[in-house]
Amino acid sequence: MNILLKEISHLFFPKTCVACGEKLLPSEEGICLSCLLKLPKTDNFKEPGNRAEILLAGRFPFERAASFCVFTSEGMLQPIIHQLKYNSRKELGVALGRLYGNDLIGSDFLKPIDALVPVPLHPKKEKKRGYNQSEMIARGISEVTGLPVSSTSLIRRISNPTQTKKSKNQRWENVDGIFALKNPPDFASKHVLLIDDIITTGSTLEACANALLECPDIRISIATIGEVL
C-alpha cells in the first residue's frame, strides 16, 4: 500500500532532480541517475599525495585526506550542496554519503577507520537549519560501511560568521579556537574520519583537527564531498 501511495503521489506531484531539473523516477531520490553518473568524481582516496593532502600538508598531523567530487561554482555538485545546506534537503546529504561510502568500502583508505566525526555546527545554527549537513553525509557513509558516527564529542563552541567570500587568512582567523572536545579520552588511540561537505582552504578542518589532537594517540583522516579547485 505504501508503494502504491508513493506511485500515486509521484504521478500528481512529480519531483525533479536538483541538478538538472528533470522529472525523477519514483525510485530516484533527489538526484536522477543520469546526473549521478555525471558527477565529477575524483577517486583520489586511491591516490596518496592527492590535491587535498597537498593542501593540508604540514598544517596538522593527519593520515589521509580525500574528496568525493570536484566542486566548482558552475558545476553539477553546486546546486546539490546548495539545496542540502539552504533548502532543508537533508536527504541529499545522506544520499551523497551513501554514494561515497560505497566507493570507499574495502579500500585501504577506509580499513583503519574506527569512527566518523562530522564537522559540527553551532547549536543555534543547527537548530535554525534543522540538521547538520556534515552529519547527514556521515550518516550516509555509516549506513553502507557500518562505521559509527560520533556527533557529540567534538563541538563548535563559538558561532562564527560564514566563511563565504573570505580570504584564506580571514578564513583561518574566523575559525581559530572555535572547536573543542567535551571529553578528550573519547577518541584516545582511535583513527577517526573527519567529515565535511566542501574543502576550500582547509581552515575549518584544520581547526577541528587541532581540537581533536587533544586526544592521546589519536589518528585523523579527512573525507569531504566536494573539493574546490
Whether 55 and 64 have beta carbons less than 8 Å apart is answered as no
Note the pLDDT tens digit of each residue in 129-140. 999 999 999 999
> What are residue 104's phi and psi, to 5 degrees?
-80, -20
Q: Is 73 exposed, middle or buried (0-12, 13-18, 19+ CB in 10 A)?
A: exposed
Q: Is 111 exposed, middle or buried (0-12, 13-18, 19+ CB in 10 A)?
A: exposed
pLDDT-derived band of residue 187, with 50, 70 and 90 as boundaries?
A: very high
State the average pLDDT over residues 2-8. 51
pLDDT-derived band of residue 82, with 50, 70 and 90 as boundaries?
A: very high
State the average pLDDT over residues 169-191. 82
Q: How far is CA 104 from the centre of its chain?
A: 14
Beta-bridge partner residues of 12: none
Cα distance between residue 96 and residue 8, in whole Å: 27
pLDDT-derived band of residue 177, with 50, 70 and 90 as boundaries?
A: confident
pLDDT at site 116: 98
Note the pLDDT tens digit of each residue in 13-55. 579 999 999 999 988 989 999 999 999 999 999 999 999 999 9
Domains of the chain: 1-38 (no CATH), 40-228 (3.40.50.2020)
pLDDT at site 168: 61
pLDDT at residue 10 above 80? no
